[in-house]
């Protein structure tokens, strides 16, 4: 996977996830601090955001994008050279379905002449087609 030539406009695998409050709570349970926050506490979401619902951590979308990029580049490449940079545009909440898509937007020689830096434009959308996050991912392929 890593040694093949990756063309600009190549599409990365699509990753789709259905979000539930259970999955949000489970994600929050990964921390080493037991914290109530706007993701797992409706009361705090109401107090701090003024919403009647908790929102999913944006980091969940980062993880979904990471999965799509890992599948595209391969874990040997992505887990050692990968980056993800996402800007969050809309909240994701329980009941939503998030789909991550991406397309190679650039290739350029990596620093120190070690391979090729491949840049992927990333888009996260909900079930209504609304953009929830945009950004880029990169990896250095040999």
Chain residues binding other proteins by CB under 8 A are: 17, 23, 26-27, 29-38, 44-45, 48-52, 55, 57-60, 62-64, 66-67, 70, 75, 78-88, 90-91, 135
Cα of 25 vs its chain's centroid, Å:
18
At a CB cut-off of 8 Å and minimum separation 6, what does 2 contact?
73, 74, 76, 77, 141, 142
Nearer to other proteins, 62 or 104 (CB): 62
Q: Which residue is it, tokens 């944006």?
A: 58
Nearer to other proteins, 70 or 104 (CB): 70
- Vertex 114 angle, CA 113 and 115, to 5°: 105
Nearer to other proteins, 4 or 33 (CB): 33
CB of 111: closest distance to other proteins in angstroms?
Answer: 13
């Amino acid at each position: 996977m890593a040694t093949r030539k990756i063309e600009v406009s190549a599409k990365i695998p699509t990753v789709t996830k259905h979000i539930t409050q259970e999955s949000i709570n489970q994600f929050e349970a990964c921390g080493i601090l037991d914290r109530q926050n706007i993701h797992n506490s409706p009361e705090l979401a109401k107090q701090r955001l003024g919403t009647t619902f908790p929102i999913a951590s944006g980091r969940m979308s980062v993880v979904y994008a990471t999965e799509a990029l890992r599948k595209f580049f391969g874990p040997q490449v992505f887990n050692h050279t990968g980056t993800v940079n996402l800007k969050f545009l809309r909240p994701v909440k329980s009941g939503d379905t998030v789909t991550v898509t991406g397309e190679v937007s650039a290739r350029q020689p990596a620093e120190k002449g070690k391979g090729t830096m491949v840049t992927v434009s990333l888009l996260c959308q909900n079930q209504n087609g609304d953009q929830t996050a945009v950004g880029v991912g990169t990896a250095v392929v040999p």
